[in-house]
Amino acid sequence: MSGKAILVLVDGTIYRGDSFGAATTTFGEIIFITSMTGYQEMLTDPSFAGQIVVPTYPLIGNYGINFDDVESAKIQVRGFVVREYCPVPSNRRSRGTVEEYLRRANIPGLSGIDTRSLTRHIRSRGVMMGILTSDLTTSEALHELKQLPSYGDTDFVKEVSVKEAFEWTPAHEQQRYEHNIIIVDMGLRFNIARILSRLGCRVTVVPCTLSSLDILAMEPDGIVLSPGPGNPALLDYAIENIKGLLGKKPILGICLGHQLIGRAFGADTFKLKFGHRGANHPVCDLATGKVHITSQNHGYAIDTDSLKGGLQVSHTNLNDGTIEGLKHSAMPIISIQYHAEGSPGPQDNTYIFDRFLQMVKEENRK
């Protein structure tokens, strides 16, 4: 541990605890996540860019850090706030501690605070900006915070997207592919590419700014619009590119990709009070009537009343009734708001990739 640190929220609420990881100052939107495991996946999930993440599970770090359970090439969160940090992990796969992992990436952590109180505060007041610091006083932090941009006014997608296209290379060096799939990277979680590769796809990841003409010139059999961070209303460049792809090739949108499909057809999006983040959100698949327990990580949703252009609701959230999936009445387009690739133990939600590839096969036969 490095000493003391504080978390100051923009409404003046202060939490004091112990610093771990990097002894520095950071700011971001304060959000909570209810998953009981998967803190390494949380830390490396690009959808958390610009955010300070608060797991509600009270003990973090007990199984350490390994080289496999990552969802991107680096830590993406701006800060990490926990109830109790375990400095001595015990797991056969562990290759280090969370504190070492954070320190190498210059990301600060805070432990020893009442994360239940913080979670209840966010549920009551809504997500808000905050500063995590071991350098500033509370008054200095609050003054600094009020000068900083809000989360919803920043385009984080361009920060996390790849700059150049690359082909995803599976570990088993598969040589024969059934389908050529393009993933538009707006904050790609690696497991999407892993699953598609395992299902026999040649996967190429391209930047979020690549034009629809350039994407189609790569002759894909299907296109995946990845998850990602931030406010979908800021992403006009991505929406215009998606419009150029509609009806040309089968499309699967996931999380942010789902929201952008909605906006490409003229629907509106809105900010949720405290988001959906965790591994136990019930979603009903209207096509089958089945209820799936899903992994989720998003702060925005599509306005049901604004749907148009042939989009139909395919999945709903059983907690609050928000849209969890879309399909088009005529075009080969489907989308989900949740993370089918999340696989928090169970992997039953990967059925959506089978559904997408079946759509690809049917289009190829035409």
Looking at the DSSP assignment, which residues form a beta bridge with residue 327? 312, 334
Catalytic (active site) residue 208:
no
Catalytic (active site) residue 363:
no
Q: How many CB atoms lie within 10 A of CB 68?
A: 7
Taken as a whole, the chain contains a residue count of 366
Residue 324: half-sphere exposure toward Cβ, Cα within 13 Å: 28
CB 59 within 8 A of CB 32: no
Catalytic residue among 29, 41, 99, 341: 341
At 198 the three-state DSSP class reads helix
For the chain, give percent helix, strand, coil, nearest 5.
25, 30, 40
Catalytic residue among 121, 201, 255, 258: 255
Catalytic residue among 121, 298, 328, 339: 339
Catalytic (active site) residue 201:
no
CB 93 within 8 A of CB 68: yes
Closest CA to 134 of 118, 159, 156, 112: 112
As a whole number of Å, the end-to-end CA separation of the chain is: 62
Closest CA to 292 of 313, 311, 270, 319: 319
Cα dihedral sign, 264-268-274-278: negative
20: buried, middle or exposed (CB in 10 Å: 19+, 13-18, 0-12)? buried
Residues annotated as part of the active site: 255, 339, 341
